[in-house]
Amino acid sequence: MPRPGTDNLPPFELKDYIRALRLMEYAGELPPKLLTLLRWQCTTEDSRANATELAAVTGMTVGEVNLIYGGAGKVLGAHLTGRPVDSFDKGWPFLAYGEYHGEEFHWFLHPPLKKALDVLELLLAEDESPRYVYALETLRQRKVLREGKTPLKLLRVHYAAPDHDVTTGELAEFMEWVSFSPANLFYGKLGAQFGEFLGPCPVTYDEDPSKAMTVAYLVKFWYDGEAWHWVMRRGLRRALEEAGLVTPRSAAESLALATVAGLPRVDPNALTEFPSDEASTREGERYWEGHARAVLVNRYERNPVARRKCIQHFGPQCQVCRVLLTDIYGPLALDYIQVHHVRPISDIGERYEVDPLNDLIPVCPNCHAMLHRRNPPLSVEELREWMAMAPANSNGNS
């Protein structure tokens, strides 16, 4: 039996509410009075309230409360369903379900909506950015966050992602790591260093509540049914912006990134502005680079399991030049190798079943770059032919 006010509503999930609330925020559709009402209701038992209670604690009238909730529900419902909601009475059920308790009609916020509000930190009672600004500046002075080093690069890649939202697998792909373990390692350590200035850790491990999950100083978590997402905390984003380490994104740019078909991700190779060939090189002239900028690109999903199976089969040796990176770099390169798609995913343009042994091949970074010097890319055999013609490999024969 559907709860009152929820008849004919599909069961929206956390990911649906997160996406809808993001669109509302970017479009300026979350007025302060609505957030005030939601903030108070989230503190009540079962997130339950009636219009009279909400009016009393917020200083609004009952009519104003009904108007705000109904209007917000209409907008939220339109983002959730992709079609207009034609009345206030049909709008509020997207926010809450209703039940009579005695003679009073009570609203209960939908649990995934409450969770989405928390993940996106839309109901923060105070601005946490000053503490993050102080922590960030101190860590820069301590050389923890330095140009060209992994911790700062990770933060920039994360910030530049649409909605500042990534999975550990995506971070690993951007950083060209074999697995997501280094992302956990670097963020956990960096989170602990930020935590020195931010107070008690907001999240602990279920199996050991005394142990802090230090990555939570940097991110909020949510699960989409397939992967865990990390959303960069608002205070950290603002601190990065104030320090000039990233280029702030306007609401319009965020909206474009969130709504463009295919939800493009960030191209990590486009994080830095490079001077043009015509740029002056006069002695004494200063040059600047390193600001993150969001770039709209089509990002084609890669299956990390298929990638691992490919490496397990072939090993971490380049299948073009046969180099083993640990022979050159030692333990630093342990288990590191890139994986090349024999047929570019962008040529296929749709989901397809990947064969880890026939569609993928491990290659070193140099060979990978050379394979893509042509469009379409060279085959492994063609690149080997080019290598055989190189002077260093010709044994002096012309």
293-314 mean pLDDT: 65
**What is the pLDDT, as a whole number, of residue 336?**
81
Specify the higher pLDDT residue, 5 or 390: 390
Q: Answer whether the bond into residue 264 is a cis peptide, omega within 30°.
A: no
Does the pLDDT at position 319 exceed 90?
Answer: yes
Q: Out of 212-221, 273-282, 340-349, 388-397, which region has the weakest mean confidence (pLDDT)?
A: 273-282
- Which residue, among 141, 148, 136, 143, has the nearest Cα to 289 in the 3D structure? 148
Q: Say what the pTM is.
A: 0.65
pLDDT score, position 111: 93
**Range with the poorest average pLDDT among 148-157, 188-197, 205-214, 338-347:** 338-347
Number of helices (H), then strands (E), in the chain = 16, 10
- Residues 228 and 232: their CA atoms lie apart, in Å, by 13
Domains of the chain as residue ranges with CATH: 14-119 (1.10.10), 129-270 (no CATH), 304-393 (no CATH)
pLDDT over threshold 80, residue 296: no
How much is the average pLDDT of 34-41? 94
Least confident of 30-39, 118-127, 173-182, 374-383: 173-182
Q: What is the pLDDT of residues 323-350, one digit of tens each?
A: 998 888 887 887 788 888 887 755 554 5
* Average pLDDT of the chain, as a whole number: 80
Q: How far apart are the first and last CA of the chain?
A: 84
Reported as a single tens digit per residue, the pLDDT across 94-118 is: 999 888 877 778 889 999 999 999 9
**E strand intervals along the chain:** 48-50, 96-101, 104-109, 165-167, 204-205, 208-212, 219-223, 228-232, 338-341, 360-363
Q: What pLDDT shows up at residue 209?
A: 74
pLDDT: which is higher, 110 or 302: 110
pLDDT at 258: 59
For residue 212, is pLDDT > 90? no
Q: Is 196 exposed, middle or buried (0-12, 13-18, 19+ CB in 10 A)?
A: exposed
For the segment 346-385, what is each residue's pLDDT rounded down to a tens digit? Answer: 555 455 677 888 888 999 988 988 988 877 788 899 899 8
Contacts 24+ apart (CB under 8 A), 326-332: none
Where residue 303 falls among pLDDT bands split at 50, 70, 90?
A: low
pLDDT for residue 6: 46
User: What is the tens place of the pLDDT at every residue in 14-35?
Assistant: 999 999 999 999 888 999 999 9
CA 304 and chain centroid, separation? 17
List, for residues 240-284, the tens digit of each pLDDT value. Answer: 999 999 888 776 666 665 554 333 333 333 333 323 333 334 444
Most confident of 93-102, 211-220, 283-292: 211-220
Q: Is the pLDDT of residue 5 over 60?
A: no
Q: What are phi and psi of 221, to 5 degrees?
A: -110, 150
Separation CA 267–CA 337 (nearest Å): 19
Beta bridge partners of 165: 231
**In this structure, what DSSP letter does residue 123 have?**
T
How far apart, in whole angstroms, are the C-alpha atoms of residue 267 and residue 125?
A: 35
Q: What's the rounded Cα separation, in Å, for the pair 241 and 235? A: 10
**For residue 8, what is the DSSP state?**
T
